[in-house]
Structure 1
Amino acid sequence: MTRTARNVLFLCTGNSARSILAEALLNARGDGRFRAYSAGSHPKGSVHPLALELLAGRGIPTGGLRSKSWDEFARPGAPEMDFVFTVCDNAAGETCPVWPGRPVTAHWGIPDPAAVEGSGERKPSAFLDAYTQLGSRISLFLELPLEGLDRSSLQRKLGEIGASRTNVSRA
């Protein structure tokens, strides 16, 4: 029996960089097993141009990516989430809406590349670092035997992924 795709929501404060990168990465790599979304507690209203540039440069589709409030996913009729991941410390510390269903949650904190100041390659390098770290965590998530884990084991594994400092090639 084929199971429908599992819904995953990535949260950060501004929903302009980290959560957007995670949404695009999981949708690109999830092989139809997952449907990723992203949102923010205080959305910026637009996706950071360097996030879009980085994704497009790696052949990851950017159509449909937009900065939006997490309220969209707490409303009646919103997709029911299987997983909710915070990717910034601010969003992890905020009181989140009540999500429909019983999603498994974890914190996968990543430094905010949009907050990096300076000129030259500092900001693009920060975006690449965030992309790489998110890509590593998403790869670990995709390797989990979801059907074979009970809820508490899954929660523990997701926490371990969030605590990991594993890096992958930037290729």
Structure 2
Amino acid sequence: MAKRIVFVSRRNSLRSILAHACLMHLAGDRFAVVSCGDPRHVSPSIHPAAAGALVSAGIAVPVTQPRGWNELARPGSARFDFVISLDGPTQLLEPNWPGQPYSALWAFPDAASFAKAEDTAHAAIQILYGLRRRLELLISLPFHRADPAAIGSDIRDLGYLD
């Protein structure tokens, strides 16, 4: 059974999109992956720097548009196994997720807020490589034979990688 993971960032236009696309690229159908952001700040589209970083790495850009967590956290919604937040301030605002999934913070800079497009593009590539390293470790975890709490702890620990 595929593990369900949601990646969360403020606007759901750059960091969470990179994480979503990268995990789908690396692990395919082993995970059911979605991404979302704070409904008050969700971007109308995927940030061009995210799309550019994914294309340059040979990773497909997700076809879904950015969305708020209100679509995923309402009563009766599908439950997630893991929620990975990509910035601390947004994590503090997140709703109570159905099913009480394990949560982790993998903090990355808010590159979408950078003033210069070239700085954002450079940061998006760096974020993608940082995420890829963590996601490669995540998919190597023994999901099929380990205690879910231990896996949750391991996923939290991946947030401390440099």
Higher relative contact order (CA 8 A, sep 6+): 2
Normalised TM-score (structure 1): 0.85
Q: Residue type of the partner of 2:14? A: A
Name the residue aligned to 1:169. Answer: none
Structure 2: give runs of 5+ residues left out of the alignment.
Answer: none
Q: Residue type of the partner of 1:70? A: W
Q: Residue type of the partner of 1:104? A: Y
Name the residue aligned to 2:17. Answer: 20
Answering whether residue 112 of structure 2 is matched by residue 110 of structure 1, we say: no
Report deviation, 1:152.
Answer: 2.9
CA distance in 1 between partners of 2:62 and 2:150 (Å): 35
Deviations 1:100-148 (A, max 9, x none): 22311111111122122336x4222111111111111111111111123
Name the residue aligned to 1:132. Answer: 129
Contact kept? 1:24, 1:60, Cα under 8 Å: yes
Secondary structure of 2:4 counterpart: strand
Q: How does 1:1-171 map to 2 (within 5 A)?
A: 4-41=1-38, 42-94=41-93, 96-118=94-116, 121-165=118-162
Q: Residue type of the partner of 1:101? A: G
Aligned-residue CA RMSD in angstroms?
Answer: 1.6
CA distance in 1 between partners of 2:147 and 2:62 (Å): 35
Secondary structure of 1:146 counterpart: coil
Q: Residue type of the partner of 1:99? A: W
Runs of 4+ with >4 A deviation? none
Secondary structure of 2:128 counterpart: helix
Corresponding pairs, count: 160
Secondary structure of 2:28 counterpart: coil
Normalised TM-score (structure 2): 0.90
Contact kept? 2:8, 2:16, Cα under 8 Å: yes
Q: Percent identity?
A: 32
